[in-house]
Chains A and B, each alone.
Chain A
């Protein structure tokens, strides 16, 4: 399993800090997988 660890909490860090994370996440489209598996409809959204 791939994983990315970064430090947050400071303003004005390096510009491309989240680029790798966004690329990793968008490269595996789980919702597409769920649709392909004919997975059940999404459970009701939980509120924070």
Chain B
């Protein structure tokens, strides 16, 4: 059993290293993709797209566009819920999707 287990563990080690390499490659590709100027310009959705993704569609849809590392805290006070947003890298944009 011992040599068989040794062989299995070394195969798993190889498989894990291969996955690590692919994850790093994929993360880099995704970052380059989203930072590309052309893609950045075309990386948008419309209000209608958002309305089609909520059920039921006639809800209030609030869109939050925040700078990186904005802190969002959701707390459960005595009545209802409180969400606080705090940005240290510029203003946060919040708007409601129009119903129509």
Q: Give the interface of A toward B (CB within 8 A).
A: 1-12, 21, 24-25, 28, 30, 45, 47-48
Q: Which residues from chain A contact B73 at a C-beta distance below 8 Å?
A: 3-5
Q: Which of A1, A3, A9, A47 contacts B96 (CB 8 A)?
A: A47
Q: Distance (Å) between the CB of A23 and the closest chain B CB?
A: 11
Q: Which residues from chain A contact B77 at a C-beta distance below 8 Å?
A: 1
Q: Is the CB of B13 closer than 8 A to any CB of chain A?
A: no
Whether A7 touches B69, Cβ cut-off 8 Å, given contacts A30-B80, A47-B96, is: yes
Q: Is the CB of B22 closer than 8 A to any CB of chain A?
A: no
Whether A12 touches B30, Cβ cut-off 8 Å, given contacts A7-B70, A30-B81, A47-B96, is: yes
Q: Distance (Å) between the CB of B26 and the closest chain A CB?
A: 11
Scan B59-85; emit 1 where CB is below 8 A from any A CB, else 0: 010101011111111111101110001
In the complex, what distance in Å separates the CA atom of A28 from the CA atom of B66? 27
Residues A48 and B75 in contact, CB atoms below 8 Å apart: no
Q: Is the CB of B2 closer than 8 A to any CB of chain A?
A: no
